[in-house]
Amino acid sequence: MHSIFTSAAIFRWLLPFTALAMTSIGAPLNARTADCDVAAQQQQRARARVGAVRGMPAPASNAGQTSTTQLAKRLERQIEEGGLPPTTALLFYTRAADGSLNVCLVNRNGLAASALSETDESSLLKSVQALRWAYGVEELQQVRAARRSADPLPPPPDVLLAPETAETDLTRVLLPPSIASMLAGVEHLIIVPAGSIGTVPFPALKPFGNTDALVDRTSITIAPSLAEFENSGSTWAASAAFARPLVVGDPSLPVSDEWVIPPLPGARAEARGVARRLKSRALSGDKAVRSAVVERAPGASVIYVAAHGASDPARPLDGGFLMLSGPTLEAGWWTAREIQGSKLPAELAVLSACQTGLGQVHDGGMIGLARAFQLAGTHRVIMSLWNVDDAATQVLMTRLITYAEAHPPAEALRLAMIDTRKDYPDPALWASFLMFGSAR
């Protein structure tokens, strides 16, 4: 028996040792580990506080005992069970008492790298908004997103940055050099955000010092907290996951004086294309009535919705909803509150709608539609941070379903983004989707 060591194999074998060396640069390893241990415990406590208010199940882990060593062991267990690539890493963020941002990267061997940024939440939010304006997302939302008639349109920033500058600014804060240097060999990245970090289009960030985006090298999933980053449910199997699809596209919506609701001409074609791929029929127009969707959703293995959605950071459960058909506009709303109180054990939900990835941000994660589906039992949720172009979305979603026949959804989404980017290089047209939940 013999073995041949390729350069990639040698790199992966050396990865844990390199990680320890990188972690120790600039500060003693023990000090950095202690800082990230404290940050992990802080994140757990924040999640517990929010969970208690919302009536969520208590985390299984004891926040007072959480450490990077324990996180690494939990990651190692998932890798050994075959659910994750061997170079999977966990990246989590917390706010320190003085408002500074802790960034900690853990792999199966322990703490791989850490960083501390003085960027406060207000400055970070401005950087996120600057990227959205740089991508032209805010202008796109004004044309395509449903909104209340009385809501004022957001004013443009004083200085409009070039997309590359806005990307660089966010990357420097969220994926600083000590973290970025350890991402080159990571095949899958689990991100536990804090505050407005949950609204960042991570696939488009460029941490490698060249033109490569994060999506070029790693698949990404978003976890709601350190207590819940483990994979849940069964390993992805397309034959089972696609057995009972529920596909909804372009519901007919009544006219309302209180809302401006632009048409979504591509949503119906998108849903029909996905339904054909899944050997199903889409519910569109008047057939996409709320009662029919709610009745069928608990038995669906995949839930796919291409429709208008809304989010309200001040009222994330009642002000976050999908717009389905109904006798009145409000009667067709499927709210985050109702969704999270339902039993929806689907393998995958795809919310190809406006801003379904937004909601109320806090130190323990985010409250909104994506999280509501997770609490209802859906193992994986793909959602959008902004309303995107019809043609680009149709290409991306068709490729997503095609790739998911042979790959887990996180990797399928990565490959679909890369394909879409070839024809639509503008990040505004391909980088808006993130996946919550299980990576396997």
User: Which tens digit of pLDDT belongs to each residue from 396-425?
Assistant: 999 999 999 999 999 999 999 999 999 999
* For residue 125, pLDDT beyond 70: yes
- What distance in Å separates the CA atoms of residue 123 and residue 198, rounded to the nearest whole number? 15
More confident residue, 189 or 389: 189
Among 57-71, 77-91, 106-120, 216-230, the range with the most confident prediction by mean pLDDT is: 106-120
pLDDT at 4: 31
CATH code, residues 238-437? 3.40.50.1460
- β-sheet bridge partners, residue 90: 106, 190
pLDDT at 114: 94
Please give the torsion angle defined by the CA atoms of residues 279, 285, 290 and 294, in that order, rounded to the nearest 10 degrees: 0
* For residue 22, pLDDT beyond 70: no
pLDDT at 20: 35
Mean pLDDT of the chain: 83
Average pLDDT over residues 53-78: 70
* For residue 365, pLDDT beyond 70: no
pLDDT at 93: 93
pLDDT at 425: 95
More confident residue, 17 or 243: 243
Share of the chain above pLDDT 70, in %: 83
* For residue 65, pLDDT beyond 70: no
pLDDT at 179: 95
257-297 tens-digit pLDDT: 888 888 887 889 999 999 999 999 999 999 999 999 999 99
Average pLDDT over residues 162-183: 95
Average pLDDT over residues 304-310: 90
387 — pLDDT class (breaks 50, 70, 90): confident
64 — pLDDT class (breaks 50, 70, 90): very low
pLDDT at 32: 78
Domain-wise residue ranges, the chain? 7-120+163-228, 238-437
Among 311, 294, 298, 297, which Cα is nearest to 366's? 311
Residue with tokens 């689990």: 190
More confident residue, 164 or 48: 164
- Cβ–Cβ under 8 Å, residues 107 and 88: yes
* For residue 48, pLDDT beyond 90: no
